Structure 1
Amino acid sequence: MLTCVLFQMEKLFLLMVMLATCCAAPTDLSDKVFVFPKETNTDHVKLLTSKTSFDAVTVCLRFFTDLTRNYGLFSLATVAHSNDFLLFKRDTNDVMSVQARGGSTNFLSLSFPPNSWHSMCATWNSQNGVAQLWVDGKQTIKRFIHSGQPISGKPITILGQEQDTYGGGFDAGQSFIGMISRLHMWDYVLSAAEIQRYVEDANFSPGNVFNWRALDYEIVGNVLVEEEIL
């Protein structure tokens, strides 16, 4: 009899855990940061969304680091492409690589002084294949990456690591060390005026894919959530 009761209690506990996992409410991370404190091939933040198709992409975020080597800032992979949308800082201080659908381009002559907060927005349109960056409120030229193919398939989106395989293949030498905050993603190209409102932290429309004020995410390993200090 006792065994039966214990078995029923265990089933009830597992059901409660499953319900809590499935029904967890998005988290408002206003005035918070993700802190990535060490070089590792495991620690990361996984961002969750139900969307599976993107004709266009805009990703905006703020980051703070003292790294001079290369590192991944934002990595979205699907089964078809491990680099379906990737923001990757090259080991030369003035180069940021943007990849979409496996294609890639480098934005040059940028400025990322270490130990300072930087805002960055990246856009890409699958119809014309054109991408653009906005770094600390200043726009770059527009560069072609890949056209004619929207991002399609269930995405795995990672902060803190660069995916070489779908959901994995992390390299500690490409891991991010520092802080990331105010991340938003939209499934369309934001206007210049809307990007400027994001940069100024004014009244902008939050991301409809990832919204820092209502974010679904999972932390794997030693990543901290702390107060943002400007």
Structure 2
Amino acid sequence: MSSVKDMRRKMFVFSGTAIDHVKLTPNQENFTAITVCHRTFTDLKRAHAIFSLATPTIFHGFLTCVNPDQSFSTTVDNKVVNFCGVDYPPNKWHDICTTWDSATGLTHMWLDGQPLTPKSTTNNKLTGKPIVTLGQSFEGMVTDVHMWDYVLSPDEIKNFMKRLSFTPGNVMNWAELDCEIIGKVIDGDVEISPRSNSSDP
């Protein structure tokens, strides 16, 4: 059963199975733009998904994945784009933000304070009640998950990544997270340094 949790200074610890995950309930549906930000910590070398949003008709509505070669991919409305040439060392906290805007069809990704080359995805709107899954087949820690129904400005993204004051997600807010833990997922405390160095625990 889902409940609203204040997850500030907390994290989810995932075991890497396909069963153990967290189901998140966004407070709205139908999207013409999306921004999702989160922090992850893992030593996985295999491909894995971090954040997955599906709709009743689209299995991969908005998906953030890490590929076996440690590049990233984003899927919007089942269309996949890859972000290559990234530095994603294991056993460090990484700040990740992904944006998409149906008006332009562009998807942007930011990793540890650096913007990656924007990619063209789709102009289609995402409609229907969203189903969000966090951490399925992921082994490691995830914290500070926020989602907005608009493209966050570069300054706001930098504030999130530097752990400065930023506008919390208006679709999903880590401080008011409507979630359901499925399987063996640990809800634990974490100390996130206020400094901008993403390798800090």
Deviation at 1:49, TM superposition (A): 2.0
User: Residue in 1 aligned with 2:127?
Assistant: 152
Secondary structure in 2 aligned to 1:211? Answer: coil
Does structure 1 residue 99 correspond to structure 2 residue 102?
Answer: no
User: Residue in 2 aligned with 1:83?
Assistant: 60
User: Residue in 2 aligned with 1:207?
Assistant: 169
Secondary structure in 2 aligned to 1:54? Answer: coil
- Higher relative contact order, chain-length normalized (CA < 8 Å, sep 6+): 2
Pairs aligned (count): 192
CA contact (8 A) 2:27 2:172 kept: no
Equivalent positions of 1:57-206 (< 5 A) are 57-93=34-70, 95-147=71-123, 149-161=124-136, 175-206=137-168
Q: Give the distance between the partners of 1:213 and 1:108, measured in 2 at CA.
A: 32
Deviation by residue 1:169-189 (Cα, 9 ceiling, x = unmatched) = xxxxxx100000000000000
> Radius of gyration: which is bigger?
1
Q: Give the distance between the partners of 2:42 and 2:52, measured in 1 at CA.
A: 17
User: Residue in 1 aligned with 2:19?
Assistant: 42
Report sequence identity in percent.
41
The runs of 5 or more residues in structure 2 that have no matched partner are: 192-200
The runs of 5 or more residues in structure 1 that have no matched partner are: 1-20, 162-174
Q: Give the distance between the partners of 2:57 and 2:172, measured in 1 at CA.
A: 21
Paired letter, 1:56: A
Deviation at 1:50, TM superposition (A): 3.2
Counting strand residues as a fraction of each chain, which structure ranks higher?
Answer: 2
- Supply the RMSD in Å over aligned alpha carbons: 1.1
> Deviating runs (4+, > 4 A) in structure 1?
none
Secondary structure in 1 aligned to 2:155? Answer: helix
Secondary structure in 1 aligned to 2:43? Answer: coil
Q: Give the distance between the partners of 1:29 and 1:219, measured in 2 at CA.
A: 13
Q: Give the distance between the partners of 2:101 and 2:26, measured in 1 at CA.
A: 20
Secondary structure in 1 aligned to 2:19? Answer: coil
Q: Give the distance between the partners of 2:47 and 2:26, measured in 1 at CA.
A: 27
Q: Give the distance between the partners of 2:24 and 2:57, measured in 1 at CA.
A: 19
Taking structure 1 as the reference length, the TM-score comes to 0.81
Paired letter, 1:156: I
Secondary structure in 1 aligned to 2:60? Answer: coil
Counting helix residues as a fraction of each chain, which structure ranks higher?
Answer: 1
Taking structure 2 as the reference length, the TM-score comes to 0.93
